[in-house]
Amino acid sequence: MVATAAIQPAEAQAYDAIVIGAGFSGLYQLHKLRDELGLRVRVLDKAGGIGGTWYWNRYPGARCDSESYYYCYSFNKEIEQEWEWSERYPEHSEIRRYFDFVADRLDLRRDVQLSTEVTSARFDGARNLWLIETDAGERFEARFLVTAVGCLSTANVPKLPGLETFKGQWYHTGAWPLEGVDLAGKRVGQIGTGSTGIQAAPVLAEQAAHLTVFQRTANYSIPARNRPMTAEEIREIRASYPEIWRKARSGPNGHPFDIPTRSALSVSDAEREAIFEKAWEGGGLRFRASFNDILTNPAANDAASDFLRRKIREVVKDPEVAERLTPRDHGFATKRPPIDTAYFETFNRPNVLLVDLKAEPIVEATERGIRTSKREYELDVVVFATGFDALTGPLLALNIHGENGLPLSTAWAEGPRTYLGLQTPGFPNLFTITGPGSPSVLTNMPIAIEQHVDWITDCIRHMRQEGLERIEAKPDATESWGAHVNEAANATLLPMASSSWYLGANVPGKPRVFMPYAGGLARYAGICSEVARDGYRGFALR
């Protein structure tokens, strides 16, 4: 008889910190911990390349809604001054080139392990270490575990009955094939009209023979007004970076916009119209900053919403189609506002059809396409632009177990509970960059990311200087923070959009909790600094 040797688990590789994710957060966190604190750090990412969300989101039309000159790192003068963006809004491939540039410049790649999915992370309370396992059976142990997995990285593919019988191809926009998809001559069906769908539809309509857009909730959108950057603009921006970053950090959402002090109700109707018109012509997310109360005062919000509804009627030629495209159930920007390039114009094309799912809900996928309550739509390709299991999804997918084996899914059964979005009680030495309860998705992400990474780095530096091995959020501080997050959301109109992913409403069965911190980035950063200055108030350290 041949004895089979028992399979020994691989020996754990020891690091000071494991960082999960190689996008904006993970790469910067690696740089800070390795190059400033001298820690041994390993970054793990399941993707085959760096770039985080921009590795996965390669759907036609994918580009950033923040403007390129401030959708980038601010911490390194040379990178800031040498990198040159080609357009007002960067396309996904250009953002990946930017990541390559940064990774090469800071020599980051040698500590980034790609194509490696974390399958579990368990805290060993006796040794104050995290034990991390990967899909390849590798094991790592580290004092600190930092998640840098982004907020919108777990695809939400609706459970469509019959999808397995569909004879065509289907794709989710957030997991677009690297090699692209040839849509020439194809009948494409797009489900979803959020920021992604609104970017994708005009390009899909150009590439495909025919596009059917299945819309559940009509959406507002502002024209992006994308265009090439001029040499003059680039020179000016480079010279103004100190002021640009100062503004971005001192505002509510990480955009370097001047914050108006006027209310939409403080001006005459004609003036208001002129201000909206100018903002519409300028394009982009700046429209939100036309007045200071669009997201706090229902009457101001109505004014903005009405203006945008009128614009839809002006652009879309068929009045019936225009009406179906007009949002009536939520106010502008109570859901994340999309920006677009010729979205509403797309519905004037002869090869585009709008299906209103409120009038004819999808019943099932069939061999030939999609059947609604009214009829079957024959399709070759279905594109799910149906969003993400936002904020909590990417963290719960890591299969994290804290002190005494406590699963994160149990700790968050009623919705995420965090202190400052940075830590969760029962999960010592685990830091969640842009976690739920922090401003995250309500901001221009790189600015929020840098603030979190800087804070985490300072905290770890402090612990090492003081010979401390463990930091954990206290339950009472976490409860108070949760109450403050609610209070901040309720001071705005944001919780009023009942189908918003900010509330988890887009994923069936997900607890309805307003997840990001709506109190503003500058205020939040101030609170984090104060907490640290106060000896890490609300955290237990030993």
Residues that bind ligand NAP (CB under 6 A): 63-65, 152, 158, 191-197, 199, 216-217, 336, 357, 362, 385-388, 441, 499, 501, 506
Nearer to ligand NAP, 246 or 375 (CB): 375
Minimal distance in Å, beta carbon 198 to ligand NAP?
A: 7
Minimal distance in Å, beta carbon 118 to ligand NAP?
A: 23
Minimal distance in Å, beta carbon 195 to ligand NAP?
A: 4
Nearer to ligand NAP, 33 or 382 (CB): 382
What is the torsional sign of CA 302, 303, 304, 308? positive
Cα 331-336-425 angle, rounded to 5 deg? 115
Minimal distance in Å, beta carbon 102 to ligand NAP?
A: 19
Minimal distance in Å, beta carbon 90 to ligand NAP?
A: 9
Nearer to ligand NAP, 42 or 255 (CB): 255
Closest CA relative to residue 20, chosen from 432, 412, 429: 432
Query: Phi first, then psi: what are they for 223, rounded to 5°?
Result: -60, 135
Nearer to ligand NAP, 29 or 196 (CB): 196
Strand stretches in 318-391, DSSP E: 339-340, 352-356, 362-365, 369-372, 376-378, 381-384
Nearer to ligand NAP, 39 or 224 (CB): 224
534 burial type by CB count under 10 A (0-12 exposed, 13-18 middle, 19+ buried):
exposed
Nearer to ligand NAP, 194 or 425 (CB): 194
How far apart CA 221 and CA 326 sit, in angstroms, is: 10
Minimal distance in Å, beta carbon 395 to ligand NAP?
A: 17
Tokens standing for residue 247: 């503004």
Maximum C-alpha span of the chain? 93
Nearer to ligand NAP, 146 or 201 (CB): 201
Q: How far is CA 244 from CA 63, 82, 226, 233, 258, in A?
A: 21, 16, 20, 13, 10
Minimal distance in Å, beta carbon 357 to ligand NAP?
A: 6
- Strand, coil or helix: what is 347? coil
Minimal distance in Å, beta carbon 452 to ligand NAP?
A: 17
How far apart CA 364 and CA 373 sit, in angstroms, is: 9
Nearer to ligand NAP, 114 or 397 (CB): 397
Task: State which residue has the least CB distance to ligand NAP.
Answer: 194
Place of tokens 């491939």: 93
Closest CA relative to residue 356, chosen from 212, 203, 222, 205: 212
